[in-house]
Amino acid sequence: MRIRVFHETNYTYEHPARGLIQVLRLRPRDHDGQYVRRWRIEPSIDGRISEREDGFGNVVHWFTADEPAESLTIRVTGEVDTNEMHGIVHGTVERLPEVFYLRDSDLALANEPIQLFARAVAAAGDPAPLPCLHRLLAAVHDKVVFEPGPTSASTTAAQSFEQEKGVCQDLTHIFIAAARHLEIPARYVSGYFHRADGMVDQEAGHAWAEALVPGLGWIGFDPANGIGTTEAHIRVAIGLDYLGAAPIRGSRMGGGTETLDVKLRVEQAQATVQS
């Protein structure tokens, strides 16, 4: 599948903001089943942009504005070719040992209710990691209603589990927290998802989890949709939780109240046939 992405993040400030710095994890990397044909990141104001790699192996761009600004737009355009890998993730850049992804993290910490939930899922069938993870995927999807609004970027797995509602980030944090409690390494993935229902205009990027299965490696699980990852997923960045894989994080001095607006379009593009 060839997927085309147009992603625009617009910041408007009450007063000119000084010292604008944006850390961008917005560029996918090639791996088995994913090939980046073209990708461009364009800030709307003058500044310096440098490319680095973080400790997780994500491509990170640091943007520093030259002058105070009343607004800033980060525009991303690109196309990615994907192949169906049935959720198996191979050929990725791995900078950390697998056991690192058993570590607790602020947004994906299993409190007692999540621990009880995880143990109940594990006891409900085959204890092997893969079938257990598939049961966990279904259980999180059934337990937590996808509903924009009641949570924010700082909502923890425990909070969204208690509310039984949230967005893809929240369901992913619950899945990760439960998997780690079961001693299964798990991590957060940010990216894009091409919807099969024809809805190409979306409110935000997507998030899902990867968990380690002995003999298979990392496997993608999408709790918000209740499915394993497919060729419709574009994998961009990973972390212990959202904080390590956030598409955009930044800082500024002054500026007053900030208004954020996101425009995202994810659509299937037609591959060009060479004659």
If 0-12 CB within 10 Å is exposed, 13-18 middle and 19+ buried, where does residue 79 land? middle
Q: Can you give the pLDDT at residue 273?
A: 54
Question: pLDDT for 30-52, tens place per residue?
Answer: 999 999 999 999 999 999 999 99
With a CB cutoff of 8 Å and minimum separation 6, the contacts of 91 are 30, 31, 32, 33
With a CB cutoff of 8 Å and minimum separation 6, the contacts of 254 are 15, 16, 17, 18, 68
Question: pLDDT for 208-248, tens place per residue?
Answer: 999 999 999 999 999 999 999 999 999 999 999 999 999 99
**Residue ranges of domains in the chain, CATH in brackets:** 2-82+248-269 (2.60.40.2250), 88-245 (3.10.620.30)
- Read off the tokens for 123: 């006891």
Q: Can you give the pLDDT at residue 184?
A: 98
**Looking at residues 188-213, what average pLDDT do you find?**
96
pTM of the entire predicted model: 0.96
Q: Can you give the pLDDT at residue 272?
A: 62
Question: pLDDT for 108-132, tens place per residue?
Answer: 999 999 999 999 999 999 999 999 9
CA pair distance 262, 255, nearest whole angstrom? 19
Q: Can you give the pLDDT at residue 10?
A: 97
**Looking at residues 161-186, what average pLDDT do you find?**
97
